[in-house]
Amino acid sequence: MMKSDTSSDIEETHDNKITKFIDNLNCCGQMMLLICGVGCIVGYIVLIVYDINALKDNSMNDVHDICTRSDLWEFLFVSVIMIPINHIIVFLTKKVKIQLTTPILLLIWGSTELFGIECVKDLNHMNIYHMSLIHVILGYVCIPLVIANSCNKDYNKQK
């Protein structure tokens, strides 16, 4: 009889350790999400500051003097305006389709500007070129992540 009490005490202690371990993991996970979220917000603010700086340093005429067919300045200007507006709309409506429409259109436009127009490579000494390239690369990275996240949410709702 004494032996069974001891084994149940061991099981309870083991269960308590597992519960505490899971609670610690949850706490660490929440902290990591918070840190990543703050990092994304700070990174986004820095990106906007550098975008505005690039738009200020290079005028639309500077870009058109080097490459007449390029609308790279306009692309960066529209990106600076539309991305925050898109985030506000998504925050208010919570609709993923709206969340993806603007970034996909900007990605197509930016890719066409950077990779479809030959004289754009002559702009690579300008900040406009580099900031536009950063926006396009972020689009290629973030859009699949948003799609995967929305698929995951839909999958979890079905369970």
User: Model confidence over 25-45: pLDDT tens digits?
Assistant: 777 777 887 888 899 889 989
d(C-alpha 27, C-alpha 21), whole Å: 10
Domain boundaries, the chain: 2-158
71: confidence class by pLDDT, cuts 50, 70, 90 = very high
**Residue 59 phi, psi (nearest 5):** -85, 170
- What global pTM score does this model have? 0.74
pLDDT at residue 106, as a whole number:
93
d(C-alpha 51, C-alpha 77), whole Å: 8
Tokens of 127: 């900040």
Burial of 70 (0-12, 13-18, 19+ CB in 10 A): buried
Over residues 97-139, the pLDDT tens digits come to 667 888 899 999 999 999 998 888 898 899 999 999 999 999 9
Are the beta carbons of 110 and 132 closer than 8 angstroms? yes
